[in-house]
Structure 1
């Protein structure tokens, strides 16, 4: 009986320690990428997270390459919030390289995978 109780306690301890493990900023730094190919359309997503909390996010679609740079932070231990800098150049705002959405919330799956919308970006080795 004692053995069963010890086993249950150890199992619960391991379960909760893994579940509450905080993903650190250092562990997430790097470049993440996803190429999405469909029959008549393809797109790619590149996200570079830097240790100084800056990032570059590039979305490549048929005739456009919207991108933004800014600061990122971890929220609720499982999400990344990207906050894009405002552009001071009015011509950039009119170009196909302008990303109109200034905040993006991505879900951290693990240190090597981040979910953006319906796409899973994987760490580039």
Structure 2
């Protein structure tokens, strides 16, 4: 017997608003039953678990113990710029001069996530 991962839950102050941000990040739609003011909503990913946003009363206080890592279909640096334009905040730069590494960003509620190199950037580094 095994368990199947149903969703990745994110506690937040504004479930609908944060889900809209992550919908923009992933290019995937919100659950069609979602509406502004909902205390719970989901972003329906193409495959795998959904991103589930749950409104809670307490604010985020510390560094995430679990975070999402994104592999863009464009370059890592182009994706960082796109996500900053969507409302992300730049937290830490772990990009190296040789092109390896990642960038750490936060969503509008301060949840950290990483932007990795794209598959094509990784392949070009290791022909």
TM-score w.r.t. the length of structure 1 is 0.24
Higher RCO, Cα 8 Å, sep 6+: 2
Query: 1 or 2, which has the higher strand percentage?
Result: 1
Q: Max radius of gyration: which structure?
A: 1
TM-score w.r.t. the length of structure 2 is 0.24
